[in-house]
Amino acid sequence: MNIFGDLLSSMIVFAVPLILVALGAMFSERSGTINIALEGIMIIGGLVASLIFKFLTVQSGPLMGTPIWGLPSQLCVLIGIIGAAIAGGIYSFFLAFASIRLKADQTIGGTALNIMAPALAIVITWAIQGQGQTAIYTPSWVPLATAPMDANFFERVFLKSSYLTTPICVLVIVASWVIIYKTKFGLRLRSCGENPAAADSVGINVYKMRYTGVMISGALAGIGGIAFTLAAGSGFASTVAGYGFLALAVMIFGNWQPLKIVLAALLFAFFKSLSGMASSIPFLPSFEGVKESLYIYLMIPYIVTMIILALTSKKSRAPKAEGIPYDKSSR
């Protein structure tokens, strides 16, 4: 039962970054731009937030390890998260510029940003922390709460590995649904992704809408990046292990709809948590005699993703104009 609690808490913590990034991707794609750079944006978000956490921590002396100026710890976490969102938004601007303004192949611009982000992270971390020190550790004041060693089921689910990013994620889910379906902005955004010529003909600025879509996805991916770092547990290590692309798969599997995306994300997070806890769960095969069986479990989320994509891709209904740059003059 306790193990089940651990599993559930781990599942939520891994689902949060997936949900955030996948919802962001949905905004971008619904407006007509494929955001392949999510992986890189997540890294930038994680980097900026981790650096903010580091700077907000007293480095030496009797108060070492606590937030500076006696600020409440969750306020500092919020500052870090906002920083991640802003950084993500700015970084995604480069993708937006290349894809929308210059109408370049959207995968090229995105790939460039994906390669640059970890490199930039390492170079900056190296410069700040010194040669070879490429990981930024998360300070201990960041989690919302901690669970005692002998915690019961509920304590495990709600207290263990709980971070501010989780309630923020819930807010984002609700906000996304409302914005996409119930607001003027959402209607216009969707029209740009389905038939940009139609949107243009009623006076909607397609370029502005698409920029907004991409930058929203950037901000959410930035938050997703720090959420991933927190989920991973040991600090920022200039990688998000393919989560940026997993989020795209989740978005496709969720048919570009917020609620389905949440369900899809929970499914994947389930498998990922399973891989981390395989040895402790009695009824799962532990592959006797197989060395390093953790690799089997590491593969599972990706294999499951592929199976599901194979089954659902034929029926999926992507926004009609996604990936096609909008050229005002091609009427």
Q: Give the one residue of 71, 75, 115, 170 binding another protein; rule: CB under 8 A.
A: 115
Q: Residues 81 to 100: which contact another protein by CB under 8 A?
A: 94, 98
Q: Residues 273 to 292: which contact another protein by CB under 8 A?
A: 290-292
Tell whether residue 269 is a contact of another protein (CB under 8 A): no
Tell whether residue 111 is a contact of another protein (CB under 8 A): yes
Tell whether residue 296 is a contact of another protein (CB under 8 A): yes
Closer CB to another protein, 82 or 104, in the complex:
104
DSSP result, 71-86: --HHHHHHHHHHHHHH
Q: What's the rounded Cα separation, in Å, for the pair 66 and 98?
A: 42
Tell whether residue 2 is a contact of another protein (CB under 8 A): no
Q: Give the one residue of 63, 108, 174, 284 binding another protein; rule: CB under 8 A.
A: 108
Tell whether residue 109 is a contact of another protein (CB under 8 A): yes
**Contact in structure between 24 and 39 (CB atoms under 8 Å):** no
Tell whether residue 68 is a contact of another protein (CB under 8 A): no
Integer CA distances (angstroms), 105 to 82, 96, 205, 313, in order: 30, 11, 21, 22
Q: At closest approach, how far in Å is the CB of 117 from another protein? A: 8
* 136 DSSP 8-state letter: B
Closer CB to another protein, 102 or 170, in the complex:
102
Q: At closest approach, how far in Å is the CB of 291 from another protein? A: 5
Tell whether residue 112 is a contact of another protein (CB under 8 A): yes
Residues 6+ apart with CB under 8 A from 273: 7, 10, 11, 14
Residues 6+ apart with CB under 8 A from 166: 12, 13, 16, 144
Q: What's the rounded Cα separation, in Å, for the pair 22 and 217?
A: 8
